[in-house]
Every structure is written in C-alpha cells, then in structure tokens.
Amino acid sequence: MISTQWFCCCFFNSRFEGHVWQLSLRQRGSRAVQEAIELCSTDEEREAIASELAGHIWEAVRCPHANFVVQRLIVALKPSACQFIIDEIMKPGSKSVGYLARHKYGCRTLQRLLEHCSQQQTLPIIEGLLAEVVPLSRHPYGNYVVQQLFEHGNNEQRVCAVQKLVKNVVLVASDCNGGAVLLKAMMNTSKQEQSLLAHAMATESGLVLSIARSRYGHAVAQMVFSALSEPCRSCLARELVAHSEELRASRYGRLLLNSLAGKSATSSEPDDSE
C-alpha cells in the first residue's frame, strides 16, 4: 500500500514527479494523492500536483478514482488555480455541461466547482445547466447539480431557472428528483419567485395533493402553502383537508397535515399585544 508520507516526500523531492496522473487512476493511488493534497503546506505544492492533471481533466472527472482527486483539488486550491479545470471541461463545447451533469462521477466535479469557484468562472457552466434545466432536474444525477445552481448562482440565474420550471411545473413536480429541485428553488429564491412557483403548482388541479405524500413533495407542499396569497391558500387548504384521510395513510402526508394544523392553530391564536 502506498504511504502518503512517502508520496509527499518523493513528490516534493522531484523523484515522484510525473506520476500523479497514473496514480490517480487507481483506488489506492487516488487516496494517496488526495491525502497528499491535504498535507501540502503551500499553494505552490498543491498547484504542482494539480499541474500533472492538466490535459487529463475530461478523463479524470469521469473516472471512478481520479474524480475524487479533482474534487479535492477544487476544494484545496484557490479559485483562480481551478480555472484550467473549467477550461478543459468546456473544451468539447457547451453540451459538455449537460453530459457531465448526467454522469455518475462528472456531476460531482460540477457541484464542487459551483460551490468553490467565483460566479464569473462558473458562468459557462451555469449557462449550460440553464439550457437543460428541466430535463436535468428530473435526472438522478443532474438534479444535484441544478440544486447547486439555486444555492450558488446569482439572482438573475435563479430567476431564469424558475421561469423554466414554472412553464414545466407538472413535469418537474411529478418526478421525485424534480421535487428535490423545487424544494431547493423554494428555499433559495426571492418571495416573488417563490410565489410564482407556488401559484403555478396550486393552479394545476390535484398537483399539490399528488406530491404531498412523497419525500420532498410534502416539504414543497408546505412551502407552497406558505407562499400562496389568499384566496388561493384557503382553496388549497380545503382541498387538502377534503383528502385528509388519503393523506394520513402515508408518513409524508401526515407530516404535511400536522404542519398545516400547526399553522392554523398559530394563526387562530388571540392577539395579546393590546
């Protein structure tokens, strides 16, 4: 088994230089490189390791072992030093973002880049995501990248994504992965965008009721209820109460009903401020 201390010693004595890429392709080698990145004491040392992946990023982010090395570098390096990673990801063209977002390993690198790089750097990535935001929201891997868009994108990008979701709200909400994206959208957008999403879902007959029994759907339904204005909120409340027996048959449906009951009790309490 490769010793991390041995790796660091050899690498920084220039006797191991030139083997980072080959090591990254193997499970044990990948772990050793990752630990070495953590043990580096200067940015220069980390960048020296990163430089050995230059020209190999497209393959590395799709590799079951090397993708972890790329992720560790993104977290450890200064954002500016990660630019070569973005450049190599974008080199095949704008559709490379959608491809990697759907990839079991590639999606992880996109998430780390959105988390740790500047919005200016990640602009081409987000543009690629926005071009396919609806199908990616329904994808088992792509949905995680779209969630990061809502968490780390700017307001204009979030508004654009919300507008696309509103136009396809039934398609997105009816999917378990899409439900997770809608929840993240409701949590990370302005009240105006929350209201748009809430009214789009509430005006689709039976949609909120249909998602109320799912893992993410019940939380989305709670946020929809809170974001609605009257008389839409009362109308939705009546619909849910009318199907309370059906909702109580499921764990998540019960959670929703309990939440709504709590909101109702709070709103009906007398005002003691006078």
**pLDDT score at 7:** 54
Question: Which of 2, 96, 107 lies closest to 61 in space, CA to CA?
Answer: 107
Q: Which amino acid is at 99?
A: Y
**Which pLDDT band, with edges at 50, 70 and 90, does 268 fall under?**
very low
Cα–Cα distance, 130 to 235 (Å, whole number): 33
Angle at alpha carbon of residue 61, lines to 78 and 31, rounded to 5°: 75
**pLDDT score at 273:** 45
User: For 71-102, what is each residue's pLDDT tens digit?
Assistant: 999 999 999 999 999 999 999 988 999 999 99
**pLDDT score at 274:** 40
User: For 193-217, what is each residue's pLDDT tens digit?
Assistant: 999 999 999 999 889 888 988 888 8
Place of tokens 């209820």: 225
Question: Which of 245, 187, 250, 170 lies closest to 218 in space, CA to CA?
Answer: 250
Res. 16: pLDDT tops 80: no
